[in-house]
Structures are given as C-alpha cells and as structure tokens.
Amino acid sequence: MSFLQPLFLAGLLAAAIPIAIHLINRRKATRQEFPALRLLMESNKKEARSVKVRQWLLLGLRVLVIAALALALAKPYFLSDEGVTASERLPTAVVFVVDDSASMQHAGWWENTVEQFDEQLGKLRPWDEATLITASTIDGPVTRFTSDHGEIREAFSDLQATDASADLSQAVVAAGDLLSSSQLPSKRIVVISDFARGGFPDSPTPEAKIPYDVRQVSVRDDAESVPENLGITAVDYEQEHSGQGGSWKITATVRNFGPEDQKGVELRLNVDGEDIGGGLVDVPARKTSTHTFRHRFEGAGVREAYVELVNDDPLEIDNRYYFAVDLKERIRVLLVNGEPSSVAYSDELYFAVRALNPGTTSQSAIIPEMTTPEGLAGRDLNDFDVVVLANVATVSQPNAGKLEQFVDGGGGLLVTMGDQIDATSWNQTMEGLLPKPLRGLKRLAERDDPDAPVKITRLGTGNRDHPIFRIFDLPGGSSLQSVKVYSYMLLEPTQQTETREILAYKDNAPALIERKVGDGRVVMLTTTVDREWTDLPVRTAFLPLMRRSVQYLARRATSAGKDRPVVGERLTLDVSGLVDERAIIHGPEDSRLVLEPTDGTVGFAPEHVGFYEVWADSDEAQGDADNPRNRLDALSFAANVDSDESKLDPLGQNALDPWTKPDEGKGGEAAQAAIPTNERRVNVWPPILFAITMMLLLETLLGARRSVLAKVWRRITFQKDPKVEV
Amino acid sequence: MTETLRQQYLDPAVLDELGTMQVRARMLVEGILAGLHRSPHHGGSVEFAEYVEYSPGHEIRHIDWKVYAKTDKYYVKQYEDETNLRAYMVVDGSGSMRFKSEEAPISKLDYASYLSAAFAHLLLRQGDAVGALSFNADQRQFLPASARKNHLDDIFYLLDNQPAAGKTGLDHALRTIAERANRRSVVFIVSDFLDADGEAMQLLKVLRHRRLDVAAFHVVDPAEITLPYEGMMLFEGMEGEGELLVDVDDLRDAYTERMREHMAFVKQQCEQADIEYLRFPTTQPIEQTCLTFLRGRI
C-alpha cells in the first residue's frame, strides 16, 4: 500500500488524544455530596461490567476514528491489474472453458465449479459477450458469442462432471479459435478446472499457442496438495483351459496415484450382479499392485463382471473396472488328414474323430471338421480354435505362414507323426512352430515281431501339473502306462525356452511336447493317432488324452490383445455380415443408440462407464429379447474411465502458461519501465471515510446519555415522560 | 434568642393552618387535657404512679432523695395527674440529613426540625407533654417530656443545635426512646431512613409492642429519587462511606430502581409493625405534611 500524502500519517499520533481526554475527564469530575451513596454503590456494582465495556468501546472507537481520519488524509492506495485496466474497459469476448472430465467427480470439486462459474459470469459487464465450451466435448454447449448471460448460465446449469476423459489443452486451443472469430477489441479465456496432470496429456506445439489473455480458475480446495487416489487401471482375464466349466484367472491391477502407501486395500469381484469374492492388496505410493481371482463361469454367452475397490477415496469413478467375458460354447477343430483311407479304421483320423465327437447323439462341445493337406489352403483358420495335422507329409510355405499366424493369434495346433512325414521339409517350413526339429523315425519293433514286448517302449507318467494330465489323476488313469509304442519320431536335442515336455516314453524320449507361440500353443505327439506305431487309440486313455489336448489347445478367451474401450474415445465395431440395416447399442443408464453401418463398421464414443450390448437390426426394446440371434455377444464390451483421469496431481498456478504466447516486445528492465502497465490505482480512502462515518454514528449512539436517548425515543413514539413518584 | 427561634421554626402561616386542629391518639389515651382528652381515670386526686430515672429536664423538686440514699441514683416520682399524652419528637441528626439539592428550598434536617417544632408547639399548646431526642450514631440529646410552657424553648434549642454529622444510628436512637418513653406515649420519628435495615425496623416493632404509638416521617430530597446530575460525578458520602466516581447516566436507572426498592421496604416494615408511615419530599410545604398527618388522626 502506498500514500499520496504520507505526511498526514503523523496525524496518527492524534489517536492518543481521546485517551488523554479520558484520563483528564476522570480528574474533572464534579464533586457532589450525596446522602444515599450506599444505594448508589450497590447500583454501580450491578452495572459496572456493562459500563466498563461501553467505556472501553467508546474509547476504542474514538481512537480508531482519529487514526482512520489521519490514514484517510494520507490518501492510501494500491496498484491493481484487476477489473478495469485499459483493455478491460473495452467490450470483451470471453470463452468459458469448463472442465467436465471424470476427475471433476472428485468430492466437492463440481460444487466449487458451480460457485466459481457464477462468480466469473457475474464479473461480466452487460456489453461483454461470452460462450461456453466444455473440455469433454469442445463443441458445446454454447459456441456462438452472446451478450445474453442468462443463456450461458442456463446452459451451464445443465452440465455436470461426465465419465469421459478430456484434453484440457485442446479445449483451450479450441477456445482460442473461437475468440479469433470475435470482433470485440478485448478477448479473454477463463478456464475452470482442477488442473490435474491427467488433463494435459500432450506438450504444446508452437503453432498451438494462443495469443489471448487466459485466466486459470482452480476448483481445488488446496491448490498445492496431492489428493489420495486409488484406481483400478486394468483387469486381465484368461481361461486356464478351454471348454465349459473351465477355470478363469482374473487379474486386477490397482494403481496408487497418491503420495502415501496404502495397505490392506480390499478388492471385490462381481459377476452378473453377484458378489463372488474379494481380496486384500497393499499398494505402495505411485506404484501398481495386482490381485488375481480364480473363478469358474457356468454356461455360455456374455458375462458382465467388474472388480471394485472398497475404499472411500474422494474420486469414485476409477474404483470400479468393468469387463465382459464371452464364454464359448463349442470348440471347432480342423483335422487335416495326412493319410486318408477308404477302410474306416485304417484311416489316420478314424480313432481321433470318434474320440473328439463320439456320435451324433453326443453332447460333446468339440466339433471336428476334416480336410486334406491341399484343402488347408482354402480354409479360413479364424473359424477354428484348433488345427490337427495328422501324419501330413509336408506343409507348404504359405500354409506354414497361415498356421503360424493362426497360432500366434491364440489358436492351437496339434501335430501327430506317421510314416508320411518328411522330416527335412517340416524342419524347413515349420521351424517357427515345431517344438523341436525332427531328427527321424525310431522303429523299435514291428507289430508282428514276436519279440516286440521286450523291444517296444511304453508311455511314462505325464506331468501331473499340466492341464492335459490332470484328468489322469482320476482312478483308471493309470491305463496310460500300459500303452505300447512300436515307433516314434526322434527329435533334435535343442534347447527352446518356449518348449516343455509333457509326457515321455519309458526310454526318456519325448512323447508329447509343447511349445508356446505368441498367444497360442503347439503340441506335438511323436507317435501316431492311428494304430500304425502304437496301440494308444484302442486304450482307454486315448479318448481323454485327445479331448484334453484339444481343449487345452483351443483358442482361449482372454483379455490379451483385446481393445479396452475408454469412455469418450471413439470406438469402431466391425459388424460386416452381422448387421443388415442398423446396429442398436444398449449402454448403461438405459442409453440406446441406433447406428447405420458404413463400410461394414459402426463408430461411436461411449458416454458412460459400464456394459454395452450390440444388437443387430432389432433389439429387446422391440420385443426381440427372446431372439438371441439378434444379440451380437462377440461385439459386447465394457467401457471404463481413462486412467489419465485418475492422475490428480496439481499442475499449479501456471498450468496454462505453456499454451499461451509470451508477450512480445519485452526487453530489459529499461524497456519494461517504458511500457505503460495495465495497473490502475485503487483508492482506499473512500471506504475508510465511509467506515469513519459509521464509527462516528456508533460513537454518537454509544456516547449519548441514556436519558437523552430515552427522551428522544419517547418523542418518536409519542410517549409521555414518566412521572417520578416520591 | 428564644423569640428568634420561635419565629424561625413556627412560620405563622403554618401555625395558622394548624390552629384549630386537634391531635387525637389512635388508641385509648389515659390522660387528656381538660376539655379535650377523655381520661379512663376518675377523680382529680394526685396519686403516685411510678419512678422514672432522672434525666435533664425533670423538675429537681420531684427527685426522691430517699431512693437516692438507697441506690445512689436519681429517681423522679411520677403522679397520675401527669399521665396526659406524652409525645417524643425523635429527629435524625446524622450527616445525610444535611443534604439539600438545588431544587429543594431547605435541607432535610431543617425540614425535620420545622416539622418537629410545629408538632411540639401544637401539643404543648393543648397541654400535652413533649420530649425530644436528636440522634446520630455517636451522640443522642434527650429532653424528657414536659408540659411546661417554657419547655418549648428547650426543644427549639435542641433542634437548633443538632450535629448534622456522623452516621445515623437509628437503632441506638430507638433503643434510647424505648428505655425512656412511658407507655401510652406518641413517638414521632423524623428521618431519611437511609440506614434503615432489618434490625432498626425490628426495633420499631418492639416500640409498637410496648404500646407506644409510633409515627414514622420519612423525609426525602427529590434529588435522592431522580438523581438529576449529568456527566462524570464524584459522589462523596455524607456519613463517611467514601467516594464514587461514575457517569451518572450509566446507573441512573439502576439507582432509581434501587431507591424505590428501599423506600418500599421501609414502608412495608412500618405497615407490618402497625406504625403510621408518611413519606414526603422537602419541596412539600410543611403545613401540608402536618395536615396530612393530623387528618389521618381525626
């Protein structure tokens, strides 16, 4: 604060005058003899406290009045760049940018947004024009400048914090574009936001910087502190082996966005509205932790599930992560027959097909389909979960590439040996898939050799931990060890990190060996699936071994590689061949969206977190809920909040500086001094004078004799003076 | 000097106003003056009635020297023919009675003295015996009751030489009068009753029990009721209570309320003791006060 007439501050000494007068007055009291002094003293005891308070109050007021008068005469003022700088006196175009992203659902922040918006809108003069855009949509709700501020207020009243993510910097740039269209001489952007780190995912480019006055209005109660926040950033699920009733591994990833370690955070899994179970996890500050649930889904179709954090952090939207699981009903197997035969049980796949699908009356979930090595090229492997190459002599390079892509994408490949196999060719074309290179046939005995029992080998015990062999723990599973093997394919003893032996012969040569390729697996049986090299097909262990192998290899339902739709981000669904005229999307909060496909796809941005069902042409709203063919389970999905919205770290007071152009023409200090500033002088003495007036009025009331005041009051209210009776 | 005193205390206008008024005892009075008072005793024989301890004012010829020889104390014989109405003027001569505000013509003490003198004159004129007691806490001047004509001068002298200082000591005065006054006496107490506490009021009741006819004259200065001062005042007690510095406006209401309570207390105590109570300001004409009292007695 500065003073125009600082000399008058010496007048502050005059504030001592009332004190002096007070002291002198005490000495100047009129002396009077009085007979009833005892009664007077008794009355004084009763009144003493209030009298003393009033006396001190009066003295204080008088001192204050004189001090304030001296201060007012010194004409205090301060410089301010608020309110009516030269540019701000001109009509101003204002763009309000309101952050309505998910992070604004933090407890209390939206209420603060409402207050701040009212305050900022109230500062506009009638001739100012304004628009209102939001960070989540940018193109609304009011994109033209209007001087009807009531319209802006009404448009704002319909807003609330959404589930969507928002790039605030883009919104500011869009506001700059809007301002460039305004004809008014003064322009300003007012950004009302939490200014969280997650709202600025990108760095500014020089051309994106805007040349306007940008004002930052924070809705945080404490602009500096980092709020505690936990969020579930991902849920991964994986079928441990395919088929109905299989076990699923569901892994939730929890991130601690806050500065303090969190211990014993409770997570709960919910499937189809039913609470399945929970667990506790410790999450260090700024780190992630995972927790794995195991669950068996019953039946087929889409399951809607979510993992939820049971805690009371102030941002709730990231405490729940939705995911949809599509349970397959059938496993489709493409069997490539390398040695077909018109004699049924001489056919390479006679026993295998019957093991996988015992008959038309069976309820088997495995649907085998046969083809030849030549027919393999014309097949779309995406229609199948498992491919079986049984005694196929060679695999062409294109087919090998096709198979490799199929396995890499999660498909399963079962390779069985036989006398047709060309080991050299296989080693060349199928190098990327074979668990180990083939060395050559090892013939132990012929079937009709009388010494065969001593020459042959038998199967050993399987790896009990492997899903294929878990079933052999059951009674009767020991029949596997009685299988006779006359011949088998020897493998090169190479070390493959992705390869493991599942089953060996008694002579320790590998019988069943597995290799993981991408998301899929390859299992190789080094003997045949017909009776040429072994009597395995006629043993009781064959059927479970084949079925378990295929189920194990089948394409697993997994979250890996799947899109993770985020609220507010555009999503494209491929509906080619599924939808004739329109796709209907049912979302959370009873939302229903009808879309017409373009080039076999429909695109839209989910607005809320939760589950979305896609229906073809007609939907349950039209009474077709009983027709499951209309519901496209494979396209159903769950949308979640962008994890950027969980990052609540404050960016501070200068968050928007990188997005604005620095003022041009700024030179050294001398140049700075030469530039006329926008600061204006704000005089403080008028309010001080007003305060003096008020204090004097109060002093008059307090200082006036009660008898006088009572008399005045009686005059005002037309009362008669009371008569004193003796 | 006596003439001067008479003129000072007996304003002719006052006495003219009271000239034809007769004081009548409320209760049965044994002795009356001839033609005015009815006596319950028949015959005019002078009979010994009782001994009374001598005090200045008694006739020396009435001292019983035989009793003096036996007891070493002076006792005076009282005879039946002296049982006319006896009245005692008990006047408060304390410091507070000296007070006179600007709106009052005379001080409370002057007012009390004039009033007492008027009653004494009236009573003596009709042949009743009048005594007087002037008191404060430290000293009490007592004149026994006498019907002698020149006794009025003694009373005037006593009234004129009151100390007008010191504390009140109403209780001591009442004890004194209780000891000295005969039964069937009328006691006029003229005071500002500022130190009238429970004990003093209890003594008033004792007087009443002793068959004394007591009348309390409460004299007040208007300023004591309205506290008409302004601004900072340093009040000084008139009976050594010390000083008090106050802004009068701050406690006027509280004081007047307290004063009203006190006056109500005195009045209530008197009424309970069946004592006639009369309160009047010093601005009220003395003859009006006398008439108010006497009319109540007729």
CB pair distance less than 8 Å for A34 and B236? yes
Distance from CA of B62 to the nearest CA of A (A): 43
Return the higher-pLDDT residue of A469 and A413.
A413
**Quick one: pLDDT band at residue B263, thresholds 50, 70, 90?**
very high
Question: Same domain for B67 and B184?
Answer: no
Residue in B97, B246, B278, B289 to test binding to A, most A beta-carbons within 10 Å? B246
Q: Quick one: tokens of B198?
A: 């429970």
Query: Which tens digits make up the pLDDT trace of A543-552?
Result: 888 888 888 8
Between chains, do A706 and B252 touch, taking CB under 8 Å as contact? yes
- In chain B, the residue whose alpha carbon lies closest to the alpha carbon of A708 is B249
Q: Which residues of A touch B254 (CB under 8 A)?
A: 43-44, 46-47
Q: Does B264 touch chain A (CB under 8 A)?
A: no
CB contact under 8 A, A30 and B233: yes
Query: In Å, how far is B286's CA from the nearest CA of chain A?
Result: 15
> Does residue B28 fall inside a structural domain?
no
B102 and A CB contact within 8 Å: no
Quick check: A205 pLDDT over 90?
Answer: no
- CB contact (8 A) between residue A726 and residue B281: yes
Task: Identify the band that residue B115 occupies on the pLDDT scale cut at 50, 70 and 90.
Answer: confident
- List of E strands, A596-707: 601-604, 610-616, 637-639, 680-683
Q: How far is CA A2 from the centre of its chain?
A: 52
Q: Which residue has the higher pLDDT, A646 or A22?
A: A646
Number of domains present in the structure of chain B: 2
Shortest Cα distance from A53 to chain B (angstroms)?
12
What is the per-residue pLDDT across B116-175, written as a single tens digit (0 to 9) for each? 887 887 788 777 888 988 887 677 788 888 888 788 788 888 888 887 777 777 888 888
The sheet with strand B232-237 has its strands ordered as: A30-34, B232-237, B243-247
Tell me if A722 sits within 8 A of A707, measured CB to CB: no
CA dihedral (A445, A449, A455, A458) positive or negative: positive
Task: Provide the angle, in degrees to the nearest 10, between the axes of the packed helices A17-27 and A37-73.
Answer: 160
Q: Do A29 and B194 touch (CB under 8 A)?
A: no
Contact flag A37-B280 (C-beta cutoff 8 Å): no
Shared-domain flag, residues B120 and B246: yes
Q: Name which of A33, A54, A726 is nearest B99 (Cβ-Cβ).
A: A33
B70 and B89 co-located in one domain? no
- Give the best residue of B107, B194, B230, B235 to mutate against chain A (max A CB count within 10 A): B235
Quick one: pLDDT at residue B49?
59
| Rounded Cα distance, A697 and A713, in Å | 17
Residue pLDDT, tens place only, A259-298: 889 999 999 999 988 898 899 999 999 999 999 998 888 7
Supply angle C-alpha A465, A471, A472, rounded to 5. 85
- Measured between CB atoms, which of A32, A36, A43 is closest to B233? A32
Give the best residue of B258, B263, B277, B278 to mutate against chain A (max A CB count within 10 A).
Answer: B258
Domain membership flag for residue B20: no
Q: Residue A557 pLDDT > 80, yes or no?
A: no
pLDDT on residue A675: 36
Task: For residue A24, give the H/E element and its range.
Answer: helix A17-27
Closest Cα partner for A631 from A584, A599, A565, A594?
A: A584
- Check A706 against B241: CB less than 8 A apart: no
Considering only CB atoms, B225 lies closest to which of A37, A54, A724, namely A724
Q: What angle do CA B54, B58, B59 make, to 5 degrees?
A: 120
Helices vs. strands in chain A: H and E counts, helices first: 14, 33
Smallest CA–CA distance from B282 into chain A, residue: A726
Whole-angstrom Cα Rg for chain B: 20
Is the Cβ–Cβ distance between A417 and A525 less than 8 Å? yes
Evaluate whether residue B139 is within a structural domain: yes
Domain shared by B67 and B135, yes or no: no
> In this model, does residue A402 exceed pLDDT 50?
yes
Higher-confidence residue of A302 and A162: namely A162
Q: Provide, as residue numbers in chain A, all residues whose Cβ is less than 8 Å from the Cβ of B234.
A: 29-32
B242 interfacial to chain A (CB closer than 8 Å): yes
- Check if the beta carbon of residue A548 is closer than 8 Å to that of residue A523: no
CB distance B237–A38 less than 8 Å? yes
Contact between chains at A36 and B194 (C-beta distance less than 8 A):
yes
B38: in domain = no
Q: Three-state DSSP class for B288?
A: helix
Q: Is the peptide bond before B40 cis (omega within 30 degrees of 0)?
A: no
Q: Does B212 have pLDDT greater than 90?
A: no
Q: Which of A22, A30, A32, A37 should we substitute to test contact with B (largest number of B Cβ atoms within 10 Å)?
A: A37
| Residue of chain B whose Cα is closest to the Cα of A23 | B232
Position B63 confidence tier, pLDDT thresholds 50, 70, 90: confident
Q: Identify all chain B residues contacting A51, using CB atoms and an 8 Å cutoff.
A: 246-247, 250-251
Domains and CATH numbers, chain A: 2-31+43-79+685-717 (no CATH), 90-226+654-659 (3.40.50.410), 331-557 (3.40.50.880), 571-639 (no CATH)
* B5 contact A CB<8A: no
The answer to whether the beta carbons of residues A392 and A416 sit under 8 Å apart is no
Q: What mean pLDDT is reported for chain A? A: 83
Structure confidence at residue A364 (pLDDT):
59
Percentage of residues of chain B with pLDDT beyond 90: 13
Note whether B64 and B187 are same-domain residues.
no
Residues B56 and B189 grouped into a single domain: no
Question: Is B265 touching A (CB cutoff 8 A)?
Answer: no
Residues B75 and B139 placed together within one structural domain of the fold: no
Q: Note whether B167 and B211 are same-domain residues.
A: yes
From the CA of B124, how many Å to the nearest CA of chain A?
A: 31
B198 with B256, same domain: the answer is yes
Among A107-116, A318-327, B280-289, the minimum mean pLDDT is found in B280-289
| B109 in a structural domain | yes
Mean pLDDT value of segment A37-51: 78
Tokens standing for residue B270: 């008197």
Mean pLDDT of A706-721: 77
Task: Kindly state whether residues B70 and B197 are assigned to the same domain.
Answer: no
Measured between CA atoms, the residue of chain B closest to residue A26 is B232
A666 contact B CB<8A: no
Is B67 found in the same domain as B154? Answer: no
Distance from CA of B260 to the nearest CA of A (A): 9
Which residues of chain A lie closer than 8 angstroms to B230, CB-CB? 705
The full DSSP string for A69-96 is HHHHHT-EEEEE-SS--TTTTS-EEEEE
Judging contacts by C-beta atoms under 8 Å, the chain B residues touching residue A54 are 250
Residue B32 in domain: no
Return the closest-CA partner of residue A541 out of A501, A490, A484, A488: A484
Shortest CA distance to B195 belongs to which of B218, B175, B215, B214? B218
Nearest to B96 among A35, A42, A706 (CB): A35
Higher pLDDT, A197 or B265: B265
Please report the residues numbered 191 through 210 in chain B whose beta carbons come closer than 8 angstroms to any beta carbon of chain A.
Answer: 192, 194-195
Q: Considering CB atoms only, which of B98, B244, B259 is closest to A41? A: B244
Q: Chain A contact for B85, CB < 8 A?
A: no
Q: Are residue B69 and residue B159 in the same domain, yes or no?
A: no
The answer to whether position B106 is within a domain reads yes
Asked if B267 reaches chain A (Cβ–Cβ under 8 Å), the answer is no
Partner residue facing B238 (CB), from A33, A51, A707:
A33
List of chain A residues whose C-beta atoms are within 8 Å of the C-beta of residue B241: 37-38, 41
Q: A707, B279: Cβ pair inside 8 Å? A: no
Per-residue pLDDT at A254: 93
3-class DSSP string for A371-422: ECCCHHHHCCHHHCCEEEEECCCCCCHHHHHHHHHHHHCCCEEEEECCCCCC
Burial class of residue A129 in the structure, from the number of CB atoms within 10 Å of its CB (0-12 exposed, 13-18 middle, 19+ buried): buried
Q: Is the pLDDT of residue B30 over 70?
A: no
Q: Is the CB of B250 less than 8 angstroms away from the CB of A51?
A: yes
Closest-CA distance of chain B to residue A696, Å: 20
Collect all residues of chain A within an 8 Å Cβ-Cβ radius of residue B266: none
Q: Does B278 touch chain A (CB under 8 A)?
A: no
Is B175 within the bounds of a domain? yes
Contact status of B100 with chain A (Cβ, < 8 Å): no
**What is the model's pLDDT at position A389?**
94
Please tell me if residue A46 touches chain B, with a CB cutoff of 8 Å: yes
Beta pairing partners, B56: B58
Query: Min CA distance, A157 vs chain B (Å)?
Result: 57
Query: Residue B271 maps to which CATH number?
Result: 3.40.50.410
Which of A441, A471, A603 shows the shortest CA–CA distance to A548? A471
Say if residues A164 and A101 touch (Cβ distance below 8 Å): yes
Instruction: Measure in Å the smallest separation between the Cα of A64 and chain B Cα atoms.
Output: 22
Domain of residue B223, residue span: 84-296
Residue with tokens 């309570």: B261
Dump pLDDT digits (tens) for A349-364: 999 988 888 765 555 5
Maximum CA pair distance of chain B? 69
